Every structure is written in structure tokens, then in C-alpha cells.
Amino acid sequence: MFRIFLRELRRLATTPLCWFMLVGGPLFCAILLTTMMQDGLPSDLPVGMVDMDRTSTSRNLSRNIDAFQICRVSGHYASVSEARKAMQRGEIYAFYYIPEGTTRKLQAQQQPIVSFYTNPQYLVAASLTYKDMRMMSELMGGAATRSVLKARGVGNEQLMGMLQPIVIDCHPISNPSLNYNVYLSNILLPGVFSLFFLFMTVYGIGLEIKENTADELMLSAAIDGRMTSLGTAFRALFGKLAAQGLVMHLVSWLLMAYLYGVLHFPCQCGLPVMLLIASLFVVASQGMGVLMICALPGLRMGLSFASLWGVISFSICGMSFPAMAMPEWVQGLTVLFPLRHYYLLYVNCALDGYPILNVWPFALALVGFALLPLLFVRRFGRIMLHTAYAP
Amino acid sequence: MTINNSFAQTIRSIFTDGGALLFCIVVPLVYPVLYSLIYNRENVREVPVTVVDECRSPISRDYIRRLDATADVRVTGHAPDMLTAQEGIKKRDVYGIVRIPSDFHDALMQGRQTHVQCYCDMSGMLYYKAILTANTDVSLAMNAEVKVADLGGNPVAMASGINGGTAEQRGVLQHPVRYEAVSLFNAQSGFASFLIPAVLVLVIQQTMLLGIGLLAGTRRERGVRTSTELGALSTLTGVALAFIAVYIPVSAYVLCVVPAMFDLPQIGSLWHLAMLMLPFLVAVFNLGITVATLPRHRETIFLLVVFTSVPLLFLTGVSWPGAAMPDFWRYFAMIFPSTHGANAYIRIYAMGATLADVRHEYLMLWALAAFYAFTAWLSVRFVFMKKRTENAGHAVETAEI
């Protein structure tokens, strides 16, 4: 088995494509996603102003919106239609509309109406600009009440209790700055890594068939001299997996060290536990890979299976859109995707800081995926010896 | 090979080659439906939360009742203290805790501020958004009422001199300014309406790249031969026409039928969309030829194309706002047809923009189409020359598609 292990390591080191799949590709994605979202929370998103009132009050409002963290007033428009056109051209994410006579009505206590328009076709930008603009509108009303109350002699301490009796203090657990990098990269990157690992596993086995090296592989695994024995197939399969797994572990651990050591993403459970979870995820991905190539012999079909499965994982794991909001039958299918279990383990351990035993079924599920190759040892042996590559 | 022959042959191979059939026909048919099914409920509703009511007064119970009545949140349990409430988070039965302080009632009666604490599970931004929105809505509604409520000498009411004032006076005091929040184009702020359109454009691009790569790989491995460089050009034109002919109905289904099936926003002009798709398909095809000609094995194309789906989705700037992207990645994103295609498609079809509004994207797509035509020619020529040196003195064999 050690011979197979060394043979596989040599193959990996001499095939440029393997370097790409195990090292170059994953690391490129890690750099891309984490640097793209390095700000954590978007800031200075361009928004428009439609100020038909043109008073010092309305200009003040526009300056205040500009001063918020998320919004930057990038343009003033003469009418709502023009602002809407600018939105359709992609120049602004949202705009604020102050109709003519707002200040006059405000002073005459006639309840003017202002409005703001967001564009949830760009959902993240819309939620964030909505929050700021709503806050601004509340503050505008508060300022008006405040000047009335002050005129009637209410003191400063009393004021806040009257303007905003109930205050909501929100505590986002473990991600207080609403860092989108933490929220997305923590799952997307292991997901991308796992996609590469699926490919590598499928490709590693498929290539033996394609390049007619399967016989040679089985021959060097057949220490008892019988190429068809179960032991031979076992040694060949697990020798290969061990070599690939070794590299995958190193790369995954590098990712964990980067996320939690360099970028300092929240990791309540400590790095060792996340390394363990990353290891479980690696072997689970390998297990799925073996299932794919053995269930569908042929490199092409195996890789197609891996592509479709791997890409849908990102949606079905429930990271961006919660599983509880999916149709029930889809919720049932989520357990078939290792990324779903990884996600729940990560949330429990790194984000919330509970012991891994709290979510042992998910860890067990990953172990289950990792044991899948045991079911396919016999079939693997048969494929290696009897399948010819068909282009 | 003439254009006609190559066109017919490519169409035939798309429908007979298992891999090409899968990626050019089956995946575009099935995948968008699968994605839409996952996201089709658009919003997460009734997120379960636990309440720790330390006040236990009629007014705190009123707060909880109103919270439960919102669409976003469902109060599934009451805990006596925070420690017990945390058990719910630990078991993932609830995604948030709302704690009402013991002085809630007294503070409101005395005209002091009181703070309601919300603890949100951050495993998904949508949970956080739902819990925060629900609590903000309830608190604002109650704040407005507290201001004018006749709570036995409410200081605000007294100070503003409207104790016993008219309903209109109370209304003005509650809301000196009224505001309206309008969600344009995606009125329900739905997740499917937001994400699926970008995914649809990516499905078209990625499947076409895979299809071209698979066919190119097969031909190369089987050693299909053409005689001259000019022959290569007309072959390529035929292949391009074949792929575009297949992808016109595929695009129509993916970009128009799928949104209709799942009630995604579709207010745009079909004509403008069709005009947009022309440079998009040409650009993707040329990009496909550029990448597909390089690898030696037909399977390699999977490894080059599939993993890019997730980064490319982010590079479009649809989910992570393009305005918040570092400049380097923003320029990097411009070399992919999907970036311009997705943004222009969303703006035309979901937001009702005209072709003139997406001028920048439209011109960029033509520019990419021209640029990738050049690179495609280079890479075909590269393979052609390599083959010729390899087969010096023998019949010339090209390995282009």
C-alpha cells in the first residue's frame, strides 16, 4: 500500500493539472473572495437625491444621508423619473425623494410625506441603504418633535424618553460588525475547496482508466500476486486516496490557518477543532468522489456528476438562503450534501462556540460520507481491470 | 470543410455526444428549475425566537404579541432567564432571543428610555434581518402610541399640551413627518427574484463553455482532420453558427420561460433582450474556443470551467455590490462576458431598462466578442502550427474544433 501511496504522490507532483486542482485553483479562489469582501460591510454605496423642496432643511437631510456609513449621495436628480432612469442605468442603488413644500408643511404641522426607493434586484445593497434611509427618516421626524418639545420647555434628559421610548439593542452573536466576509467566505471557500477535491478524486481514478495505467496500478498493489482479490483493490484504492488526502489536508489546513489565524475570523472553538472539522470534510469529499466515479464509470460522467453536485451544494447548504424556507422535500435532500453538514458544524463550533458533541450527528454524517469508499472496493477493482476508456 | 458541412456536423454532435447533450441541453433545461425551486419561497418568514420577559406586565406582553404577529418572526417559547433561552440557540430550535428588561413598564410610564435586547444567530444574514426588522417595526409602532397615550399624566402629552387633544393633533405628534419606503422592481425583496437572474446568465455561459470544450476535446482525441488554414476558418464559422443556433432557443427558455414559470420580475422588452443576447452569445462562444483549444484532454475543460461559477457570480457585483469591490477585481471582472451579461439582463428584463440604458455593457460585450475572436484565432492557429510541425511531411491535420 505504501508503494501505491508513493506512486500516487509522484503522479500528483508531475501532473501540472493536479497542482492546479489541489493548490493553485483553491488558493486563487481563497484570495479572490476574501480580498473582494475585505471591507466586511459595504460602505459609500452611491444613492441619489431628488430634492424638490430646496430648503436648508432638505439640504441638511441630504448631507446627513451622505454622512451615514453605507450611503454616499452621488447625484442630485430633477425628478423621480430621472432618478429611476439612473437606477436602471446602474448608477445608483437607491434614492431619496423630498417633495416640494416638505419644510413648509413640517413647520405648519401638516405631516409632509417623504419617500425613499430601494432596488432589491441588488438585495444586499438594497437592505443596507434601506436601513440607513429609514433611520434618517425617523430622525427627521424626531428632530421636528424635539424642536416642538424644546419650545415648550422640556429638558434634554426627558427628551430622549419621549422621542424614542423603546430602543432596540441588537446583538449579532459573534459577528457584531455584520462582516459579510465572515458570513460568506467561511462557507464558500470550503465549498470551493471541496469541489476541487471531488474533481481530484474522480480525476485521479478516471485517469488511470483513460491512460491505461490501471493494470499497472493493480499489479503493484497485488502483493499476494492476485490482481482480482479484494485486498488488492483495497490497497490500490486507499493508497491512492491516502496520498491525495494528505495534500488535501495540508491545503485545507492552510485555508483554516488563513481564515482564523491571518484574517482573524471568529473561531470560538479554537483552531484545532476547526482543523478537525476541515479534515472530516476532506475525507467526506473524497468519499463522495469515489461514489461518483464508481457509480458512473467513465471520467466524463464522473466529472459531470461532480460538477452538478458540487455547484448545487452552495445553494442547498442553506448558508445564504435558510433551509427552513425551502420546500420541505428540498429540506430533506440537504442531508445528502456534505457542505450542509460542514456548515452546521462550523456554525456550532466556530461561530457559537458550543462543543462539537452538541452537533455530533453532523460530524457522524461526514464520517459516513468518508466510509462510502468501503462499499465500492470490489467495484473499484472491477472497473480498474475491465473498463476501457471510450472518448 | 465548408460552413454548411461543419454547421450540420456540429449540430449532430451536440445531440449525439453524451457530454455535449448533457451540458448544452439537459443542464440548461433542468438546472434553472432546480435553483428556482430552492429559492422560490423568496423570503424567510416566521423565524423562531425565544422571549425572556423580565417585566411581565400587560405592556410587555403586548410587545410580545405584536412581535409574534409580524410576518418575519414567530415567538416559539418563553424562557425564565437568559441561560435557559441560550439552550434554544444551542439546540438550533430558535435563531434569536428577545429580552425585555424588568423596568420596561416603569420606564414607559415615567417617560424614560428602555432598551429591548435582541440577540441574533449570525449563521445567516436573513435570520438577523428578519429579527431586527420585526423588532424595529414593533418598537416604532409602540413608540408612536406611547407618545400620545393617556398614561395618567404622560409627560410628552402634557408637555405638548395635547392631553385630550384631537385625533389629528395626536397624529401630528406621533409622526411629524410620514415616510414611505418603496421597493422598486422586486417589490417583495425576494431572494429568488434577486439571485436567480444572475444565475440564469451564468448557466448559459458555463454550459456553453463546457459544451464547446467537450466537443473540441472529443474531436481532438479522435483526430478529426481538416486540410488548410482557410478550412479551419470556415469550419470555425460553421461551429459558431451551430452553437448560436442551439443557444437561441436555450437562452429563450432560460431567460424568459423560467422567470415566467416562477413569477420572477419580467417587465423588460424582449426585443432589447434579444439584441443584448447576440453579442453575449458571440463573446461566450469565442471565449469557449479560446479556452477549449488549449487543454489536451477533453475532461480538462470541467476542471477549468466549473469551479469559476462561484467566483464569477460574485464578480458580477449582483450579490456583493460592485461599488464596494476593490478596483482590481472590478477591472478583472470586466474580462468575463457574464459580468456584463448578468447586469444588463437584470436591468433590461427585471428592471425595464432599454438597450440605451445598458449601453456600457452592450458595447463591452461587443468589445469582448472581438477580443476573444482574436484570441480564439490565436489559439486555433497555435494548435494548428503545433500539429503541422508534429506531422511534418504528412497530411496536415488540425486539431481545432
User: How many CA atoms does the CB half-sphere of B285 hold within 13 Å?
Assistant: 23
By mean pLDDT, which of A194-203, B183-192, B278-287 is the weakest?
B183-192
B341 and B211, same domain (yes or no): yes
Higher-confidence residue of B199 and A177: namely B199
Q: Do B172 and A109 touch (CB under 8 A)?
A: yes
Give the per-residue pLDDT at B111.
79
pLDDT at B227: 47
Shared domain check, B128 and B197: no
On whether the CB atoms of residues A28 and A202 are closer than 8 A, the answer is: no
Q: Best interface-test mutation with B: which of A60, A131, A168, A319 has the largest number of B CBs within 10 A?
A: A168
For residue A387, what pLDDT band results from cuts at 50, 70 and 90? Answer: low
Query: Which residues from chain A sit within 8 angstroms of residue B74, using beta carbons?
Result: none
| Structure confidence at residue A388 as a pLDDT band (50, 70, 90) | low
Which residues of chain A neighbour B306 with C-beta distances below 8 Å?
Answer: 195, 199, 307, 310-311
Q: Which residues of B touch A196 (CB under 8 A)?
A: 307
* Interatomic CA distance for residues B113 and B131, integer angstroms: 21
Q: Does B112 touch chain A (CB under 8 A)?
A: yes
> What separation, in Å, do the N-terminal and C-terminal C-alpha atoms of chain B show?
12
Question: Where do the H-state alpha helices sit in A296-359?
Answer: 299-316, 328-333, 338-346
Are residues B146 and B73 both part of a single domain? yes
Do B118 and B10 sit in the same domain of this protein?
Answer: no
A111/B320 touch (CB, cutoff 8 Å), yes or no = no
Q: Do B178 and A118 touch (CB under 8 A)?
A: no
- Chain-chain contact of A165 with B325 (C-beta, under 8 angstroms): no
Sorted by sequence, the CB contacts under 8 Å of residue B164 that are 6+ apart come out as B150
Q: Cβ neighbours of residue A124 under 8 Å, at least 6 residues apart?
A: A42, A180, B319, B320, B321
A-chain residues within 8 Å CB-CB of B162?
none
Q: What is the ipTM of this complex?
A: 0.87
Long-range contacts of B170-173 (CB under 8 A, 24+ apart): B171/A111, B172/A109, B172/A110, B172/A111, B173/A145, B173/A148, B173/B147, B173/B148
| Within-domain flag for B179 | no
- Assess whether B201 and B148 both reside in one domain: no
- CA–CA dist A311, B342 (Å, integer): 18
Give the domain extent around B288: 3-40+190-390
Q: How many A-B residue pairs are in contact by the CB < 8 A criterion? A: 346
Q: Chain B, 119-148: which have a CB under 8 Å from a chain A CB?
A: 119-129, 131-132, 135-136, 139-140, 142-143, 146-147
Whether residue B290 lies inside any domain: the answer is: yes
Specify the pLDDT at position B109. 83
Average pLDDT value over all residues in chain B? 83
pLDDT band of A196, cuts 50, 70, 90: very high
Over residues B104-128, the mean pLDDT reads 88
Q: In what order do the strands lie in the sheet with B96-100?
A: A166-172, B114-120, B96-100, B47-53, B73-78
Could you give the CA distance from residue A209 to residue B275 in angstroms, rounded to a whole number?
Answer: 46
pLDDT tens-place string over residues A120-171: 999 888 988 998 888 888 888 888 778 777 877 777 777 777 778 888 888 9
Taking the CA of residue B339 and the nearest CA in chain A, the distance in Å comes to 13
Q: Does B300 touch chain A (CB under 8 A)?
A: yes
Contacts of A174 in chain B (CB under 8 A): 122
Instruction: Render the burial of B88-104: b for 16+ CB within 10 Å, e for the rest.
Output: bbbebebbbbbbbbeeb
Using the 3D structure, point to which of B146, B174, B202 is the last residue of a domain: B174
Q: Choosing among B46, B320, B325, B327, which should be mutated to test the A contact, i.e. which has the most A CBs within 10 A?
A: B320
Residues B19 and B158 in one domain: no
Q: Give the number of domains in chain B.
A: 2
B364 found inside a domain: yes
Q: Establish if B279 belongs to a structural domain.
A: yes
In this structure, are residues A320 and B124 in contact, taking their beta carbons and an 8 Å threshold?
yes
Provide the residue count of chain B.
Answer: 401
Question: Does residue B180 belong to any structural domain of this protein?
Answer: no
Q: For the whole model, what pTM was predicted?
A: 0.88
B73 inside domain: yes
What is the spatial distance between Cα A342 and Cα A317, in angstroms, rounded to a whole number?
Answer: 9
Average pLDDT taken over every residue of chain A = 86
| Whether residue B211 sits in one domain with residue B165 | no
What domains lie within chain A, and their CATH numbers?
2-38+179-386 (no CATH), 45-163 (3.40.1710.10)
Structural domain ending residue among the three candidates B149, B174, B199: B174
Residue B33 shares a structural domain with residue B85 = no
- Chain A residues with CB-CB distance to B182 below 8 A: 115-118
B233 touches chain A (CB under 8 A): no
Same domain, B385 and B258: yes
Q: Are residues B204 and B351 in the same domain?
A: yes
- Record: contact B37-A327, CB cut-off 8 A: yes
Model confidence at B159, in pLDDT bands (50, 70, 90)?
low
Phi–psi pair at A8, nearest 5 degrees = -70, -45
B148 is a domain residue: yes
pLDDT band for position B370 (cuts 50, 70, 90): very high
Q: Say yes or no for a CB contact (<8 Å) between B185 and A121.
A: yes
**Nearest CB to A173: which of B122, B265, B300?**
B122
pLDDT of B273 over the 70 cut:
yes
| Span A334-362, average pLDDT | 90
Q: Is B89 on the interface with A (CB under 8 A)?
A: yes
pLDDT in tens, A16-67: 888 888 888 899 999 999 998 888 888 889 999 999 888 888 888 888 888 8
Q: Is B178 on the interface with A (CB under 8 A)?
A: yes
C-alpha cell of residue B333: 471582472
The pLDDT value recorded for residue B19 is 79
Provide CB contacts within 8 A for A102, sequence distance 6+: A53, A55, A57, A58, A112, A114, B177
The CATH code of the domain that includes B141 is 3.40.1710.10
B220 shares a domain with B86: no
Helices (H), B253-307: 258-261, 270-292, 300-305
Residues B222 and B239 in one domain: yes
Q: Which of B174, B207, B237 is the last residue of a domain?
A: B174
In a domain, B396, yes or no: no
Would you say B308 and B369 are in contact if contact means Cβ atoms under 8 Å apart? no
User: What is the end-to-end Cα distance of chain A in Å, rounded?
Assistant: 31
